Chain A
């Protein structure tokens, strides 16, 4: 049984933040509870107060800025809401498709994007793709708002740049130009992905412009493959180029070893996903595979 706690339902971000400040480590933010309640059941965490942020109005909004260039996803939007949002489907279909494959129907229905990112469990699907997309994460407290690039938000295993009295309130995702391809690939045989890869790449006049390539799930946090990105820029796509990129990713990744997969195996997965993503981005090769 879960230890005794009380629950507060603040009506604003400022009120929630003040409660977090007042109660310090005795308080825990509670959204969908899909991760938190497991920690409580296992007594890995024993807060005396849950700060239920689900009743803060507006935090679940999903909208596209009038420019059409920025998608705003409220922290309380559930995976299911993002998956089914016409706005997300139209602006960034790969993000909607990624969300549709998170966990199972029950977890998608309860679990929020804010909870997924704040928890910083390394096997997050959206984290990898959001970094590739150059998303920004908005953090708010009673002292104000700041925005952190998604690639700087994750600082390690279950740890982020968020301060204890801050709430993750919004994810800001730039949409892409027509010539830009957005790809998410993953390999999953357990409950959560073993390896994930996000690729955002544009090709003009037969040459790759820029590529953002992120590998997730195999290490403590999703990481941009800076060397592979630099190598791809300005080059004409070819099987040799893609093989070189995959080899670079294999070297550049820094996998953690766990009970399920060895480091070498994870490097191999990352290299294979790199090839798949590049082939899918250019409509070449045998694409797809297990997702």
Chain B
């Protein structure tokens, strides 16, 4: 577990990322954000505040929202990771994504992957959340464009759509 050229400690991790198995040799110090972006090309994972305040780097690990900027990549060993790239099925957007589009809940789009994934976690926990529950759950996802109202509307809309068609 010491790399012979760099003399640095390494670990092999195995995880499922957006449904596909991956095996990677990483260093213990590698952050999940960098592994997802730089090793796996998942650029929907955004880097912003770097201190777990803004939510732009949110991914789901075993269904729970995680700040990938402040999570060691080795923590995903044996786990299931979802990023925004895994939400749509072919050209069909996930109902949460479709709700964000239809409600104009996106402006510059930088916070959107984190918003959508956090919404997915919320609706898994609480399929029909109240407005207050949505505000509380999404309180750690910052958006500097929309003023939030359209996002809250989109989450409500997504909850309705998913209740209608059965969660996927």
Interface residues of A (CB under 8 A from B): 1-7, 33-34, 37-38, 40-41, 50, 103-107, 109-110, 191
- Partner of B65 from the list A5, A37, A103, A109 (CB cut-off 8 Å) is A109
Instruction: Using CB atoms, name the residue of chain A closest to B2.
Output: A6
From B70-78, B83-91, B146-154, B155-163, the one touching the partner chain is: B70-78
- Mask, B127-160, CB within 8 Å of A = 1, is 0000000000101110000000000000000000
Pairwise interchain contact B71-A104, C-beta atoms closer than 8 A: no
- A50 vs B139: C-alpha distance in the bound complex, in angstroms? 31
Contact A34 B9 (CB under 8 A): no
Q: 5 closest A-B pairs (Cβ-Cβ)? A: A104-B140, A6-B9, A2-B29, A7-B28, A106-B67
Q: How many A-B residue pairs have CB under 8 A?
A: 65
Complex Cα distance, B65 from A34, in Å, reads 14
Known contacts A103-B140, A105-B118, A106-B52; decide if A4 and B66 are in contact (CB<8 Å). no
On whether A106 and B29 interact (CB within 8 A), knowing A4-B9, A33-B70, the answer reads: no
Whether B52 pairs with A5 at a CB distance below 8 angstroms is: no
| CA–CA, A191 and B121, complex, Å | 22
Of all chain B residues, which has the CB nearest A54? B75
Q: Is the CB of B29 within 8 A of A5?
A: yes
Complexed CA–CA distance, A12 and B70 (Å)? 26
Cβ–Cβ contact A106 & B55, under 8 A: yes
Residues of A within 8 A of B8 (CB): 4
Bitwise interface map of B from 34 to 70 toward A, beta carbon under 8 Å scored 1, else 0: 0000000000000000111101001000001111001
A38-B28 contact given A4-B9, A106-B140, CB 8 Å threshold? no
Q: Check if A191 sits within 8 Å of B53, measured CB to CB.
A: yes
